[in-house]
Every structure is written in C-alpha cells, then in structure tokens.
Amino acid sequence: MTRIVGFLLMIVLFFGCEDDQKKIIDVSNINVNITVDRFEQKFYKTSEKNFKELKKDYAFMLSNADDSVWLNKIKSEDERYLFKESERIFSNFSDVKQNLKNLFKHIKYYNPKFKSPKVITHISDLDFEYPVIYSDSLLFISLDMYLGKDNIVYRSFPSYLSENYKKDRIVVDVAKDIINQSYQKSKNRTFLYRMINEGRIIYLIDSYLPAISDDLKIGYSKERLVFAEQNEMDIWKYFIEKELLYSNDKNLNKRFIDNAPFSKFYLESDQETPGRIGVWIGWQIVQSYMKNNDVTLQQLLVEKPEEIYKKSKYKPRR
C-alpha cells in the first residue's frame, strides 16, 4: 500500500488562537465525493454458484486464498453472527457516511489535493489491530469492530479496549489512520518527545473533527477524561519530580503512552487513572503551544518537540 507523500506538509492555512475555544472551520462550500461499498452484504449473501463472479469483482480482496476458504467463511456460524450484528447496528449507514464526509471536507480544506477514498465496509473476524485501513484511494472499515462496547462478541476483550468499539468511534479511527499514514514522527526517544509526538496526532484529529467530543478523540470514558482534567497538576508534578521528561527509558511507553487499562505511577490509586496519560499531557502541551504562538499547522508539524514544549508556556490546570 502506498502512502501520501508530503501530505501534511502541504497545509498552508493558519489556525486561529482563540482563548479556550475551538475554531470551527466553514467547510460547507468544499465538495467531496464519497462512495460507500457494503462488501459484507454482498459477501455473506452470495451463493456458492455466484461466488466466482463476486471474486472477479473483488479480486483485490479475495484472491489471497482458495475459494473453499471463503465459502467456509460465508457459512461459518460465528462469521454470520458478526454479519447479523453489523446489519442490526449499521442498517442505516447515513450518519457514519456524513461524519466521514465532514472529515474529508476538513482534510481537503487544509490540503486541497486530498482525494476522498472509496469506503469499503467488511467483516474482519474481530481484527482489533486493524479496524480501519487507509490506502490512498481505498478505506476499509471493519464493521464488526464497532458493534457497541457491551456486545457479547467482545466479552473476551479488556474493557479499556472495548470501550471504543462503538459506531461513533469510526470517524476518529479513520482520521487517526490517515494521519499515521502521512505524519513522520520524530525519532528522538525521550519521554517528552514521545508525549508531544502523540499529542500532535490528537491535535490533528481535533482539527479535522472539531465537533467530536474530547473523550472520543482521546479514547477515554467521560469519567476517565474528568479524572485527567482534575488531576493534571499532580500528573505533571509527578513527571517533573521523577525527572521523566528527558528519560530514554522504554518502559515509560508501557506506563504512560501505550494502550493500557490504567497508567502506572506505582501508587495505590493507579487503577483510577486512565491509560495513555502521557498522550493526554502531550495533547495539552500542543494545545498550549498553538494558543500562545502565531504558527500554522504546518509549522507545528515540523517544529521540534523540545521547542514546542519550551514555547508552549504550558501550565497544568490546578
């Protein structure tokens, strides 16, 4: 799969720096075409007799295995249950399509050369690692990964992961995958760099999806987000007192950056904390940088994380 070269470096418009307000961009006059192909409906409703015709039309999806593999997949009770659930949740796809359309409009606002990919929905047999795959002209969405956090199919998944297996999360995951395909992260491995690199991604998601709630963007429950906001000062104080900012300790990724049920301060109250708290702090630093500096999004992306931190004038909320 190819990647967009220089996608984000072509952004040339300025962000406003409004006090504690998100600048809502008017994208009503931006035209994007979005096509949704419900592949799973064709796949699970096809007959053995008609399968070869389907395979011919979708060779790019069905040519990597023998016909018998796909026919068994169509007949599988587990697979058919996932399809049945996807039909129930996504019988009307118009709201998701509208969210994607708004996302593509915002991306095109910042990058006029952006072309909306063709959206192909499918069932992935709970492939939690790749619920969304973006590849220039195509966007694959695994509907079985968005059936609702309480769906029985996720009973073996930890709750901190299944929390985000819901319809509203689709557009966030799409935005994140498009960004990850085009954003070159700094290779510096200090904790500060890692926090700000991840914080920049959330800031980009925030820019592309200004109407989406913060808890959805960061992937927290509303309660976890409130915890982060109310304890921001103590979290930052811990990072400073433990001299973590310029540490190269790879274990800090597991403690504060990677997906996890909670962050690991090695305190009795750890289980009350949200995971990835370092990402959330990085987001706050980037927000402060953009608020206190007259810079473009392009400049944000090429600025060194240490300079972002120094110029951010970041002050955690008390």
| pLDDT score for 8 | 36
Structure tokens at 146: 């968005």
Whether the predicted pLDDT of 188 surpasses 80: no
Asked which of 12-26, 74-88, 173-187 is least confident by mean pLDDT, the reply is: 12-26
Residues 155-183, mean pLDDT to the nearest whole number? 94
Structure tokens at 113: 């050369």
Residues 21-49, mean pLDDT to the nearest whole number? 90
Residues of the chain with pLDDT > 90, as a percent, come to 83
Residues 302-313, mean pLDDT to the nearest whole number? 95
Measured distance between the N- and C-terminal CA atoms of the chain, rounded to whole angstroms: 46
Residues 252-258, mean pLDDT to the nearest whole number? 97
Q: Can you give the residue ranges of every domain in the chain?
A: 25-180, 191-312
Whether the predicted pLDDT of 105 surpasses 60: yes
| pLDDT score for 22 | 55
Q: What is the mean pLDDT of the chain?
A: 90
Whether the predicted pLDDT of 194 surpasses 60: yes
Residues 183-197, mean pLDDT to the nearest whole number? 86
Whether the predicted pLDDT of 15 surpasses 50: no
Q: What is the pTM of this model?
A: 0.90
Whether the predicted pLDDT of 62 surpasses 70: yes
Write the pLDDT tens digit of every residue in 200-224.
999 999 999 999 999 999 999 999 9
Whether the predicted pLDDT of 3 surpasses 50: no
From CA 140, how far away is CA 133, in angstroms rounded?
Answer: 5
